[in-house]
Amino acid sequence: MKKNLLKNKIFYFFYKLLKIQRNRKPSYHFGEFAEDVFIGRLLKSINNGKYVDVGCYHPFKGSLTAKLYQKNWRGINIDVSKTSIDLFNIARKRDINLNCAISDFNEKTFYFQNGMINQQNSLQKSSDDQIKVDINCYTLNTVLENNDFHDFDYLNVDVEGTELNVIKGINFKKYKPKLITIENNEMIPEEYFQSEIFKLLEQNNYVFVNKVGVTNFFLIKSLKNEISNLIKI
């Protein structure tokens, strides 16, 4: 019936106006480079999923998990900044929000603070102006086991230069998120392909599928042949 109606010039005119109006509103995103748009495509078929966000920073600004939370996902958000976690406790009440560091060891350590809430706060020193702040540090395995958090779908790691140590603290035989995103400021992918973190993920059955801004995307190998369907609108 629709095909027959479209042959009518008046109906076709209003059909075109409707198509323009419906699609003129831009898609919104929270990620700095709209990474969460691609994440949403890859994970669109999962309802009530689970995520782990290491270096979560802010519940909305730059967040790669905010849109997932709005879709009734839940997860664990981790940051060295107490202020960041205070914000998450207000805005993400369904989540587990933890003020600690994540690396490849379990013990007290310190991080280098640029501000109470700052994207550059890190276990890695970058300036003499930074303040050393004591913090408890755990492997991601320890955090997941202590919180009885299993079978999560998505892992994001953004810890300003110590991402490799976070990945070293995961038991990939036990935890197999479908998607892993990792901050990487090297803009030439070929150089990243030689890095230890790339090789470690490859050894654990993850394939590099995209780079959006400063975020690299790794999909579990069993889904690589489905990527065209996963990102389809």
Nearest C-alpha neighbor of 210 from the set 186, 189, 225 = 189
Sequential pLDDT tens for the chain (233 residues)? 666 655 667 766 766 677 667 666 667 899 989 999 999 999 999 999 999 999 999 999 999 999 999 999 999 999 999 999 999 999 999 999 999 999 999 999 998 888 777 777 877 777 778 888 899 999 999 999 999 999 999 999 999 888 999 999 999 999 999 999 999 888 787 888 888 999 999 999 999 999 999 999 999 999 988 888 788 77
Q: What is the pTM of this model?
A: 0.88
Q: What is the pLDDT of residue 81?
A: 92
Return the pLDDT at 4: 65
The H-assigned helical ranges of 121-222 are: 140-146, 163-168, 189-192, 196-203
The predicted structure's pLDDT at residue 58: 93
C-alpha torsion 77→80→84→89, nearest 10: 50
Residue with tokens 């369904």: 94
Nearest to 144 by CA among 178, 88, 106, 111: 106
**Domain 30-100+140-230 CATH superfamily:** Vaccinia Virus protein VP39 (3.40.50.150)
The per-residue pLDDT for 120 is 75
SS3 content of the chain, % helix, strand, coil (to 5): 35, 25, 45
The per-residue pLDDT for 54 is: 97
Q: What is the pLDDT of residue 25?
A: 67
Tokens of 148: 């009885």
Residue 212: how many CB atoms within 10 A of its CB?
Answer: 18
